[in-house]
Amino acid sequence: MTRRGVAPQMGTIGQVDSLDAESQRLEHWYLLLGELTHCLWSPHALPAMLQDFCRILVQRAGYLQADILLEQQGQTETYTFTAGMPEQAEPYTGAADSMHDLMVSELIAPQRRLTLHARAPEHFTDVHPLHQVLGRFFRELADAILAQLGMPGHRDLQNDLELLALSVQQSPFSILITNALGELEYCNQAYTRQSGFTLAELESKCVLWDNGFPDDLQHRAAFTALQPGEHWHGDIQTRHKAGHCYWERQVVSPLCDEHGRVTHLIAVRQIINDDQFQIREVEQALLLREQALVSSSNGIMITRSDDHDHSIVYVNPAFERITGYRAEEVIGREGRFLVREDMAQPDLEEIRSALREKREGRALLRNYRKDGSQFWNELHISPVKDAAGAITTHFVSVINDVSERVNYQKELEYHATHDSLTGLANRSLLNDRITQAIAWAKRQELHVGLMLLDLDHFKLINDASGHGAGDEMLKQVAQRLNLCVRDTDTVARLGGDEFVIVLTDLPESGDVDAIAEKVRDSLARPMLINGAEVFVTASIGISVYPRDGDHGEILLRYADIAMYRVKEHGRNSARQFVPEMGVTAISRLNMEGAMRRGLERGEFSLHYQPKIDLVTHTVIGAEALVRWHHPQIGLIQPVEFIPLAEETGLILPLGEWVLNEACRQQVIWRNHGLPLLKIAVNMSSRQFRQDDLSERIARIIQDSGADPHQLTLELTESMVMQDVSSTLSALRSLKKLGLSISLDDFGTGYSSLSYLRRFPIDELKIDKSFINDIHVNPDDAAIASAIVAMGLSLGLNVVAEGVEKIEQIQLLKEMHCHQVQGYYFAKPMDAAAFENYLIRYPVKIS
C-alpha cells in the first residue's frame, strides 16, 4: 500500500503538529538558521538588518518580544519587534524581571556596545537550546556589524559550524542533503545505519525518489517544485541495501542562497514502527469507510440488533435527502416508521425474518417521506458482527430509491397489456383474464360469460368523418362498456372496432343476456363527436363456460360465430351461441376451397408500401403485402383471409407464393435500372416453424435470381418468443443465406431484452398502436422514444409503422428513428404504381 505526502506548507515553530518532536526541531532549526544567516550576511543596511533580526526571533523562533540596543559615540539606537504589530512594541527599558527574559550584552569595539533583550514564552527555560543558539548568532550579529562598519571581526564561526555539524551527524533521525537536482551530497550516521548503505555508495544518486516505487515520479515532481519557506511531509517507502522495504515518515525542505534560489534539499526521516504503521492503517481505513458512507448516493441506516431494540444509531446524508428526515429526527426510532400504516406488503415478512435470523435480506417496499409522498425502496440489510464474529451487534440497511425504475416498469407493463387508444385490456391480457376466470369458476362451480362486440358500420364513421372521429367514438364506447360491468369483469379491445367483455362469477348461463341488454341500451344513447350527435349500434355474440367450451380460444371462436350470425340477421342484436350455428359457420369456411382455387388461378397479388429514410428523405425499401382479388366478391383484405389461411394450413403455400413473387419483382426492378430496394416480406408462425424453411427459401432465391441481401423477413414478437432455442437455430440458418431479419409489431408482445440481444435481428418495427398518438400523447411518445433508444443501443435499424401526420415525423426524427412507412407518404400499391411512384414522386418532408 502506498501512502502519499501532503501538499507543501509554510513551517513555523509549533505549527507542524503532524511530525515528531525531533523532526520538528531539526526542520525548524534549519529554517531558523537559514533565515538568520541570510539576515546577517546579505547586503542590507545596518538598521534593516537589526530590525529583521528582531523579527526572526519573534516570528520564527517563537519569542514574545525582541529588543536590540546599539550604543555608539554616546548615542543609543533601539530596534524592537513583538508578537503583535511592530508599531505596538514598547522598547525594553529595565533589567530582566523573570527567568523568562534573556539578556545578552556584547562589546563589539571600543565605545560600541550591542545589547539584546528577548522575552521568552513560559514553556521556554533558561537552558532552552534556542538560548544557546541565539547566543552564538548574537555574536555573529556583532561580527556582521563590524563588517558593515569596516572593522575586522573578532569572532570565529568555526565553533558554530562544528556545533551544527555535530548535531546533524549525531541526530537519531536520518538526515540527507542533496543538491537542487536531488543528487545526494551528505547523509548522517543514522541513515547509513538504517539503510545499510555508505555515503560513498549513494553519493550523487537520487535517493529521495529513485527507489523503484510507483510514487517515485510524483515525489520527484513534488520535491523539485518546493519554493523557499515551503516543505513536504508524508510517508514514503524505502528500500534497504539487503533488498527489503520499510516505511519512513519524512519532511523535505529547500535551502536557498542569498538570492532566494533553491540550492539544496534537506530531508529528515523517521522510521515508522509496526505499532505506528498499524494505527495509521486503521485510522485511514476508518476514515475511508466514513467517507464512503457520507458520499454514498444510497441511503445508509445503521440499527441495533437486539431482539427488542432495532433503533437507529446512524443515517448518512443520502438518507436525509431521500426521506426528508434529518438525522436528529430519526436517531433512536425504529426503521419501520418509513412504512407508516402500509403494513400489508408481502416483502415486509422477508425483512422481519432476516432480522430474527440475523442474516441478509432484500425487499422492495413502499416507503413514505416526511412530506407523506411515497417512494419505492429497494432495501438491502446486512448483519454486522462483533470483533470475534460471534454476535450480531448491528444491522446496516442500504436504502435505494428506485421509484423511477419501478414506475417505468409499471408503465411498460401497462402498455404491454392495455390498448393504447382506449386504455382497455389488449388481447394478451384478455387471454390471461379468461384463463383466470375459468379457473375460478371451475373451483366455485360457476359460469363465465364471454361477449364479442363488433360495431355496426363503423367504417362509415371513419370514411365520413376521418380517423380522428373514429378514434373518439372508440374511446366513448370503451367508457360506456366499462360502466356496464363490475370491477371483477374485464373489458378488452381486440383491435379495430371489436370489443370483448368477460363476465365472471355468473350463477346461470342466462345471466349474461341481462348484461348484453344493458350494453345495447348504453350504446343506443347518442354520442357527441366533433360537435355532432352520432349513433352507433353493435352486433354481440355470446358464449358461456362450461356449456360451450373449457378454454378461451373455443369461447372466442363460438362468440365470433354467434356475432356473425347476428350480422347476417340485420345487426344491432345479441345472440348466444348454439351448436346449430356451427353448421352455418362451417359454410363460411368454404372460403378454404376458394383460396386454393385462387392460388391456382392467380387471383392473389402483391402490393408494396414504401419505406422512407428519415435522414435522406428517399425511398429505400418496401413492404410486400398480399391482396386477394376474388372474381365475384372483389378485393378481399388480408385481415379477412389470413386467419383462415393460418387455421387451415393454406398459409404455407400462400407464404411461399408471396416470397417467390417478391423475389421475382425485385429482379424485374433491378433489370429496369431502379435503385436497389430492400423488400420486406411477412412470415407467418406456421411458415417459420417449418423444419426445412431455410432450404425452401434458398431454392426460391436461387431460382428467381434475387439478391438475398436485399430481402427482409418480418417476424412478430410472439412468433420468435414461442420456442427460443428453435428460434435461434432458425434465425441463424436464415442469416447464413444473407437475409435480414425484422421484428414486426414490436412493443405488443413479451420480448425479453436478454433474448432480443441474443437473436440475430437487424431491425425493429414499432407497432402502429404506439405511433398513432405520439404527437398528442406523452406516454406514447415516451414508449416510442424508449424503443428507438433501445434499438439504437443494440445497433438495430428502427422503423415506425402507420405514420400519417407530419407532427409524428418530426418527433420520430428527433428520436433518431431511421425509417418510417405509412399513409403520409403512400398507401400500399401494385408493382406498376409503385415503380411510377419512385420515378415521378420524390419524397418531400415539410
295-320 pLDDT per residue, tens: 677 888 889 888 778 899 888 888 99
Lowest-confidence segment of 416-420, 555-559, 718-722 by average pLDDT: 718-722
Rounded to an integer, what is the distance from CA 358 to the centroid of its chain? 32
The predicted structure's pLDDT at residue 97: 41
Residue 322's nearest CA partner among 250, 432, 402 is 402
The predicted structure's pLDDT at residue 626: 94
The mean predicted confidence, pLDDT, of the chain is 81
CB 73 within 8 A of CB 26: no
**Mean pLDDT, rounded, for 199-214:** 80
Where is pLDDT greater, at 456 or 141?
456
Question: How is residue 371 written as a grid cell?
Answer: 412530506
Residue 54 has pLDDT above 80, yes or no: yes
Give Rg (Cα) of the chain: 47
Could you give the 3-state DSSP secondary structure of residue 723? coil
Indicate the burial class of 3 (C-beta count within 10 angstroms; 0-12, 13-18, 19 or more). Answer: middle
Size of the chain, expressed as the number of residues it contains:
846
CB 259 within 8 A of CB 43: no
- Edge to edge, the sheet with strand 538-545 lists 490-495, 498-506, 447-455, 538-545, 574-576
Where is pLDDT greater, at 530 or 33?
530
**pLDDT tier, 13 (very low <50, low <70, confident <90, very high otherwise):** very low
Element (H, E) at 537: none
| Cis status of the peptide bond prior to 675, with omega within 30 of 0 | no
**pLDDT tier, 93 (very low <50, low <70, confident <90, very high otherwise):** very low
**pLDDT tier, 770 (very low <50, low <70, confident <90, very high otherwise):** confident
Taking the complete model, does pTM exceed 0.95, yes or no?
no
Domain 280-401: what homologous superfamily?
A: PAS domain (3.30.450.20)
The predicted structure's pLDDT at residue 752: 55
622 phi and psi angles, rounded to 5 deg:
-155, 150
Residue 436 has pLDDT above 50, yes or no: yes
**pLDDT tier, 152 (very low <50, low <70, confident <90, very high otherwise):** low
**For the chain, which residues make up each domain, given as ranges?**
44-165, 172-269, 280-401, 410-588, 603-840
The predicted structure's pLDDT at residue 26: 61
**Mean pLDDT, rounded, for 16-43:** 62
**Mean pLDDT, rounded, for 578-589:** 55
Residue 667 burial (CB count, 10 A): 13
Query: Dihedral through CA 468, CA 469, CA 475, CA 476, nearest 10?
Result: 160
**pLDDT tier, 155 (very low <50, low <70, confident <90, very high otherwise):** very low
CA distance 387 to 595: 82
The predicted structure's pLDDT at residue 816: 93
CA distance 821 to 619: 10
CA distance 431 to 80: 100
CB 176 within 8 A of CB 194: no
Lowest-confidence segment of 145-154, 248-257, 697-706 by average pLDDT: 145-154
Rounded to an integer, what is the distance from CA 64 to the centroid of its chain? 59
Question: How is residue 490 written as a grid cell?
Answer: 374485464
CA distance 250 to 254: 13
The predicted structure's pLDDT at residue 86: 47
**Mean pLDDT, rounded, for 317-346:** 89
**Dihedral sign, CA of 455, 459, 463, 464?**
negative
* Integer CA distances (angstroms), 424 to 189, 296, 595, 802, in order: 91, 43, 35, 21
Residue 24 has pLDDT above 80, yes or no: no
DSSP 224-281: HT--TTEEEEEEEEEE-TTS-EEEEEEEEEEEE-TTS-EEEEEEEEEE--HHHHHHHH
The fold for domain 603-840 equals TIM Barrel (3.20.20)
**Percent of the chain at pLDDT exceeding 70:** 82
Lowest-confidence segment of 90-99, 227-236, 591-600, 771-780 by average pLDDT: 90-99
Could you give the 3-state DSSP secondary structure of residue 108? strand
CA distance 249 to 239: 14
CA distance 748 to 801: 13
**Mean pLDDT, rounded, for 710-728:** 83
The fold for domain 44-165 equals Ribosomal protein S3 C-terminal domain (3.30.1140)
Lowest-confidence segment of 164-173, 404-413, 495-504, 552-561 by average pLDDT: 164-173
The predicted structure's pLDDT at residue 609: 94
**Mean pLDDT, rounded, for 553-581:** 83
CATH topology agreement for domains 44-165 and 603-840: no
**Mean pLDDT, rounded, for 30-44:** 70
Domain 410-588: what homologous superfamily?
A: Reverse transcriptase/Diguanylate cyclase domain (3.30.70.270)
Residue 480 burial (CB count, 10 A): 18
Instruction: Name, of 290-299, 505-514, 625-634, the range with top average pLDDT.
Output: 505-514
**pLDDT tier, 289 (very low <50, low <70, confident <90, very high otherwise):** low
> Which residues neighbour 416 within 8 Å (Cβ) at sequence distance 6 or greater?
428, 747, 748, 749, 750
* Integer CA distances (angstroms), 645 to 284, 652, 716, in order: 75, 8, 17
- At 458, the amino acid letter reads F
**Mean pLDDT, rounded, for 488-492:** 92
Element (H, E) at 282: helix 274-295
Give the model confidence (pLDDT) of 792-842 as tens digits: 888 899 999 989 899 999 999 999 999 999 988 998 999 999 998 888 766
Rounded to an integer, what is the distance from CA 732 to the centroid of its chain? 33
Looking at residue 337, what DSSP letter applies?
A: G
Could you give the 3-state DSSP secondary structure of residue 688? helix
Domain 172-269: what homologous superfamily?
A: PAS domain (3.30.450.20)
| Range 126-150 burial, b when 16+ CB lie within 10 A, else e | eeeebeebbebbbbbbbbbbbeeee
> Which residues neighbour 407 within 8 Å (Cβ) at sequence distance 6 or greater?
376
Backbone angle region of 400, left / alpha / beta, with phi > 0 → left and psi within -120 to 50 → alpha: beta
Residue 670 has pLDDT above 70, yes or no: yes
Could you give the 3-state DSSP secondary structure of residue 83? coil
Give the model confidence (pLDDT) of 607-653 as tens digits: 999 999 998 888 999 999 999 887 766 667 676 678 778 878 889 99
Residue 426's nearest CA partner among 522, 496, 480 is 496
Lowest-confidence segment of 91-100, 530-539, 632-641, 740-749 by average pLDDT: 91-100
CA distance 495 to 394: 57
Give the model confidence (pLDDT) of 218-246 as tens digits: 888 888 888 887 888 888 888 888 888 88
Lowest-confidence segment of 77-91, 352-366, 452-466 by average pLDDT: 77-91
**pLDDT tier, 569 (very low <50, low <70, confident <90, very high otherwise):** confident
CA distance 635 to 626: 11
- At 425, the amino acid letter reads A
**pLDDT tier, 571 (very low <50, low <70, confident <90, very high otherwise):** confident
